[in-house]
Amino acid sequence: MQVGLLFETATDLLSQPGAVAQTHYHWRENEEVAALTQALTTLGHQVESIGSVTQLLERYQAGLRPDLVWNLSVRAQSRSRTAIAPALLEQLQIPYTGGDAASKSLVLNKDWLKPLLHWCGILTPEWQRFGLGVVPMALPPWPQSVLKPTCEGYSLGLSRFDNTAGLTVFQQQVDHLHQQFHVPVLCEAFIPGREITIGLVGGDAQCQVLGGVETLTAEAQPLQDQMLDLPRKRQGGDQKVRVDLSQAPFQDAKAAAIALFKLLHPLDYATFDFRVTATGSAYLLDVNADATLHPQRSLAKIAAAEGLSYGQLIAAILETVQQRWPATGRTSMGHSPCPELDPPAAQRSL
pLDDT, tens digit, for every residue of 36-68? 999 999 999 999 999 899 999 999 999 999 999
pLDDT of 27 reads: 60
Q: Please give the model's pTM, rounded to 2 decimal places.
A: 0.90
Nearest to 192 by CA among 168, 213, 162, 172: 162
Average pLDDT on 295-301 reads: 93
Between the alpha carbon of residue 201 and those of residues 75, 157, 207, 257, the distances in Å are 23, 29, 6, 11
pLDDT score at 289: 93
pLDDT bin (cut points 50, 70, 90) of residue 284 is very high
Phi-psi region of 157 (alpha: psi -120 to 50; beta: other; left: phi over 0): left
pLDDT given for residue 24 in this prediction: 64
Sign of torsion, CA 314 74 267 292? Answer: positive
DSSP-derived secondary structure letter, 51: E
At 23, the pLDDT band (50, 70, 90 cuts) reads low
Strands (E), the chain: 2-6, 46-51, 68-71, 127-130, 144-149, 159-162, 185-189, 194-202, 207-216, 239-243, 268-276, 282-288
pLDDT tens per residue, range 200-246: 999 866 789 999 999 999 999 999 999 887 778 777 788 999 999 99
State residue 256's pLDDT score: 97
* Residue pLDDT, tens place only, 166-195: 999 999 999 999 999 999 999 999 999 999
CA distance 197 to 272: 5
What's the pLDDT score for residue 171? 98
| Cα(32)–Cα(38) distance, integer angstroms | 10
